[in-house]
């Protein structure tokens, strides 16, 4: 029995060495929704250092992620909202089930040193939006879910036209807090995960009744060239360490209310 255990241990060690050598120099191609870009980059850097596998990351608004795969673009791993991945699964474009990573959190950026806006509840948020001289958010025509949701909520509050009139439209999520930091807009509204790394702003989440319920998830694609390494990166995204990075970046736990 001791001899058998020794043999098995040696075989296991050999497999690990072979797996590591096959990973070294490999490259996986990942497509992610923009709200997950910051934590994915951080996790990818650590993954590359540990495994030698490079992560080539493409970023787009999440509403276009599915259409890019359907159009034939090839990636080893895809990160999008669960509804997008459900649609891809139905079309047999995923290798298996996805893993839920984090829930989007919509927030407001104000310039550092300026009074922080009151976001206590929907009534105070309405007043804050009405009082603001200008508002930065991503151009809804680009398919940004955060801006579409914002305008839907503004319409429910009866202030959609006022919000549109104050718009300083941006081409990307990080452009929103940047516009606030350099004085182009008084307030910026987009995903918290797209604003936390921008200097010169303070970011607060909107109250629960004005929050998106969309959850990011990740899956290996059906035509992945580097399926083993894509699966390993999927584990890195969803393990305890990866979950900590994702939540520190401004996303909520995937199953939070």
User: Confidence class of residue 1 from pLDDT cuts 50, 70 and 90?
Assistant: low
Residues 111, 200 contacting (CB under 8 angstroms): yes
Q: Mean of the pLDDT values across residues 64-76?
A: 96
| pLDDT value of position 176 | 98
pLDDT over threshold 50, residue 91:
yes
Same fold across 2-103+214-248 and 106-210 = yes
Top pLDDT among 242 and 2 is at: 242
Total residue length of the chain = 257
| pLDDT value of position 5 | 46
User: Confidence class of residue 256 from pLDDT cuts 50, 70 and 90?
Assistant: confident
| pLDDT value of position 13 | 38
Q: Mean of the pLDDT values across residues 137-148?
A: 95
Q: Are strands 99-103 and 187-191 parallel, antiparallel or unpaired?
A: unpaired
d(CA 255, CA 257): 6
CA atoms within 13 A on the CB side of 140: 9
CATH 3.40.190.10 for domain 2-103+214-248: yes
pLDDT over threshold 70, residue 163:
yes
pLDDT over threshold 50, residue 8:
no
pLDDT over threshold 70, residue 3:
no
pLDDT over threshold 80, residue 7:
no
Task: Determine which helix (DSSP H) or strand (DSSP E) holds 33, and give its type and residue range.
Answer: strand 27-33
Name the least confident of 21-30, 83-92, 144-153, 182-191.
Answer: 21-30
User: Confidence class of residue 120 from pLDDT cuts 50, 70 and 90?
Assistant: very high
Of the candidate CATH numbers 3.40.190.10, 3.30.70.3420, 3.40.50.300, 3.40.50.800, the domain formed by 106-210 belongs to 3.40.190.10
Where in the chain are the domains?
A: 2-103+214-248, 106-210
Q: Mean of the pLDDT values across residues 88-116?
A: 97
Name the least confident of 19-33, 34-48, 71-85, 117-131.
Answer: 19-33
| pLDDT value of position 24 | 62
């Amino acid at each position: 029995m001791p001899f058998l255990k020794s043999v098995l241990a040696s075989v296991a060690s050999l497999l690990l060495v072979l797996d590591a050598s096959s990973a070294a120099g490999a490259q996986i191609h990942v497509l992610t929704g923009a709200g997950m870009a910051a934590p994915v980059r951080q996790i990818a850097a650590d993954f590359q250092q540990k495994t030698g596998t490079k992560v080539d990351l493409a970023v787009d608004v999440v509403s276009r992620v599915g259409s890019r795969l359907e159009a034939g673009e090839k990636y080893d791993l895809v990160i999008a909202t669960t509804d997008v991945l459900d649609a891809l699964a139905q079309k047999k474009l995923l290798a298996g089930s996805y893993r839920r990573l984090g829930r989007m959190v919509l927030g407001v950026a104000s310039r550092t040193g300026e009074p922080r806006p009151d976001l206590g509840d929907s009534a105070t948020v309405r007043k804050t939006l009405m009082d603001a001289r200008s508002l930065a958010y991503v151009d809804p025509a680009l398919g940004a879910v955060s801006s579409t949701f914002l305008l839907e909520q503004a319409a429910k509050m009866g202030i959609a036209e006022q919000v549109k009139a104050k718009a300083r439209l941006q081409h990307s999520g990080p452009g929103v807090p940047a516009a606030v930091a350099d004085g182009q807009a008084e307030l910026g509204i987009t995903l918290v995960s797209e604003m936390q790394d921008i200097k010169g702003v303070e970011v607060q989440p909107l109250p629960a009744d004005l929050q998106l319920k969309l959850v990011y998830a990740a899956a290996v694609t059906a035509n992945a060239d580097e399926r083993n390494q894509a699966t390993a990166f999927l584990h890195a995204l969803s393990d305890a360490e990866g979950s900590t990075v994702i939540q520190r970046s401004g996303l909520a736990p995937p199953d939070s209310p």
